Structure 1
Amino acid sequence: MPFLRRWYENLAVVAHTDLESDNGSPFCRREVRREVGPLREHDDRVGGPTFRNRKGRGPFRGRMYSEQQAGGRQRHRGGGGGPVPRARLEDDDGDVDMNDSGQDSGAHQRRFTPYGGRPNRRGDNHYDRDRGGGGNAGGHRPGRGGPPRKSWFKMTIPYGKKYDKTWLLTALQGLCTVPFTPVQYHCEGNKVMFYVEDATTANALCKVSRKITDTEGYKVSVIMHPAPPPASVLNELKPEDLEHLKQCMSKRFDASQQALDLNSIRTDPDLVSQTIEVILNRRSCMQAINKIIEENVPELLSLNLGNNRLYKLDEVSELVSKVPNLKILNLSNNELKSERDLDKVKGFKLEELWLEHNPLCDHFKDQPSYISAIRERFPRLLRLDGHILPRPIAFDVEAPTTLPACKGSYFGSEEIKSVILRFLQQYYNVYDSGDRQPLLDAYHDGASFSLSIPFSLQNPSRCSLGDYHKDSRNIKKLKDPTTRFRLLKHTRLNVVAFLNELPKTQHDTSSFVVDVNTYTNTLLSFTISGVFKEVDEKSRDTVRAFSRVFITVPAGNAGLCIVNDELFVRNATTEEIRRAFATPAPTPSSSPVPTLTAAQQEMLSAFSLQSGMNLEWSQKCLQDNEWDFNRAAQIFSQLKSQGKIPDVAFK
């Protein structure tokens, strides 16, 4: 076996080689002596069929390096030029772990756990970097010296976007045993996310999960994930950088005009000379700008943010409350892609706005549509991209307004009131009696009935209105016409049979509010709203709110016969629950409203049908024209063609 003999001789030469440092002193010496003998007497560097073998690597676990290759490797490490054995790791005492020489990195990682940590299961250095280790990024590894990094955690609130930020954070802090400061609070889809900077706080927040109940009865979940530090923290400006930024902004401020010019601030020579990067599409940088503005120039009238590569306005929107008098805003030469981005800053009462050279400007077919879309958000705008706009037609109401107090029920006349109250008393006496079969006398032979619950509660697994879910005919949810038809109950027998399947109830008649929608000699439509509680065993004393529309026709003995019945059920609010069954009152009260004659009621219904306006605006139009139908129709047509009738008139 001449080949093997030569190979062992070479191995002996390599193993006896002295490795020398630059000054010639040996820093590593190892002697490896092997007896040349039969193959079975050698160590596991050479293996036959009975030894470990790697696919595609032949019978040798190591690799052979020529003296020239080994010398090149030693020179690369800064040592002498002689051949060296291939070794992965060096011990502190200078020994070389020969058992690891020549093995591939994958096998080494499978057998060796560096620094006492758990193995890197990703096959790269991301795990070390995420946990604060160095990897190839130069970070500090545990146990290797250097200051330890803080551990960050991302907290996720599923479906948290629907909650008000202040309410959500207050509720979390109220139950969390550790005070916390949310960092980089933001939404991703329907989720809310923010960061906390230590495990104790993250674990305390996790214990709050499903202990908060929202107004719809859902439990608020809190999920924790380890995470690298948020970008806003990594990119935070140092205190000395903030001072330089403040000085730079003072040079760009025109006190006579109360104007601040931050155009292309990233390339400002004062900042560049200090190697300070102020990139306004970074949250931390824009928040630093906001703080300086709030503390120093709250009376700002003009702000130029052009040429700053802004692609969102989330942080800019925080200035709406900080500089309420801002009149001029320049956002030109940025990266805003949609006019919907402007919704975040539409709280500004702007008179001049610059948007040119943003991608959103290319989305409009013509100039009028562009102006209309922008002015929809800023109705007081007088100049857009330097062009003077026509003065807006608007009602300038500076004083805060409040909604008028509820006026109670509206019947239209004492005669109608008497008929409706008598009907409701009889109907709900039977409905709450436990046996609803006598309600057959209240419905027309061809009557129809439908039930619906709120659209947001259509998920049966999360719905607290489970008894009503399967029969809900909410047309915002159901698009299939077959399903819609199936859920509509036809004929009085089917209607009453279905009513008998609903939970047993007790209605609070003192909560009833009645509104008459339409009244003619042959038709009476009215809506009744209020609260009730369920008295079944499984849901005893559960308070619900309801709204019900009855469409009726005259029946014998001045009674009413139901032809259409629409019932809407929802969870009662906290205030409704508090007031339910508190002060019993026999009947709902009426409001002092003008009484319409039967002829006026018919004219009102016809005018509303032809004009498309609601009854309130139709009645106002007829009254303004002294109930002259033709003249009212002519005036309506003129005002509509001029666009002077508000949208609220058609709702």
Structure 2
Amino acid sequence: MRGVLKYQVRHTPYTMGHDKRRVKWHSEGQIRVTLWSNRKHLTREMGEDTRDGTQSSWFKITIPFGKKYDKTWLMNSLQSHCSVPFTPVDFHYVQHRARFFVQDASAASALMDVSYKICDEENKKIPIFVNTSAVPYSVRDKLAPEKMEQLKLTMSKRYEVSRKALDLQSLRYDPDLVGHGIDIILNRRNCMTAALQIIKMNFPELLSLDLHSNRLFQLDGLSDITQMVPTVRILNLSKNELNSTWELGKIKGLKLEELWLEGNPLCDTFPDQSTYVSAIRKCFPKLLRLDGRDLPPPITADVDRPDLIKPYKERYEGSDVVKSLVLQFLQQYYLIYDSGDRQSLLGAYHDEACFSLTIPFNPNDPDPSSLFEYFKYNRNMKNLKDPNLRFQLLKHTKRDIVCSLSVLPKTQHDFSSFILDTWFQSESMIFVCVNGVFKEVEGRSQGSVRAFSRTFIATPASNSSMFIVNDELFVRVATTCESQRAFSITVPTPSCSSEPTLSQEQQKMVLLFSMQSGMKPQWSQKCLQENEWNYTRAAQVFTMLKMKGTIPEEAFKQIP
């Protein structure tokens, strides 16, 4: 059996080299590429000798443009579609490709059968190429048994049982290894593979791994940790030579809660701390501490799933249900919007959603520059005559929308100012309008209060949630009265005079905790005080107690 593919070409044809394809000219400026069939071809090539005179039983699996796929997603997709279980060896990215090896002809043949049968999130079919290969480096250069035994003894001395923590800091210079003439350089794939194998066999419940000061400049070898030691929650990579967050993407399958990166060149590539935190959290959404500093708890509507919107299946049972749903949605949406990491709003939008921004048209405005940061995104039809520009300013797809939202000024919305209306709903759609005020928290207009009106049109999704399909935002300068009333409502403090008055920062913490937890301000304040105003710890305690059902019902706010 032969598979036939056609490709348009404009340049001189070339031969395909060692991968056993045949290339022929075809009519109308095309070439015909004939791929050898799976099993027959692989079985025949298994008999070919390698350079060292032994028969090859290794196969190289290549995914063109595989660099854009997360390793965990790609491996899970291949495993679920492949008819034969396989063990990937030496998974790594080469330029734009993803590559790994298998040592089983039946698995290699089955993987070739999966080619063009897996679709990515853009609904593009993923090709898979299979070729015979020499023995992979990590296997060919595998540590000798006596070296493995000494490395195991050295790592055992560095393991702390009570904390389930392994300290591999400056491992190369460990006296026990140097004294035996063993050179362990963790940048080498065979060395990192050996270390991970020892961890998997001897410390399978490892929680904390310290790789401080190992001169790591790439994490290809460490990427196997997501399958071999997925229990790791604390990882120290400080004082290495990592230059890009791309390297961190190779291990983002870990559910890290604490990460250390200080002392790596990549830390100097960000303009400020918030941008740095945002970039790292894209790889590790559940991260609670970075470089020893507590982070605000990750904002999600559900602990186990990334959807921002709460389940929507009961929306037709009465107006109270719809009201509760809308309030939860708006709280989650604007808490994320104000957090500084608006990329997390991707889950709130439909793939083909639209967004537009409008500011007032007033030719007599004495200060037309007061909304200058919004002007270039303004799609007001009164003063926008160019049809091409009108089309460009109407943002399509959720990625374009979130990119547009991310460049708008950072904000803090006044939840107490919100006026809501759900003026239309059906089985397939709901219209939500919200009016209120916010202030800008940085830049040339820092402290300026703006009034806004926003209309969301949302539709149910297949997983009983809902997505925004249309988002229209109108922004104007707040009136003097609106500015005076903005952020004027404070959290009530205990009436007892012996209790200290809350600071402004503590009041904000109480208000935010109350919105996220659903508890009344007094109970939120109590939870924060009992945890010494450590927001992360208070959130963890709240989650644990709520799961146990020990929080009384009167602690929670009632939806009016």
TM-score by length of 2: 0.44
Q: Which structure is larger by alpha-carbon Rg, 1 or 2?
A: 1
TM-score by length of 1: 0.39
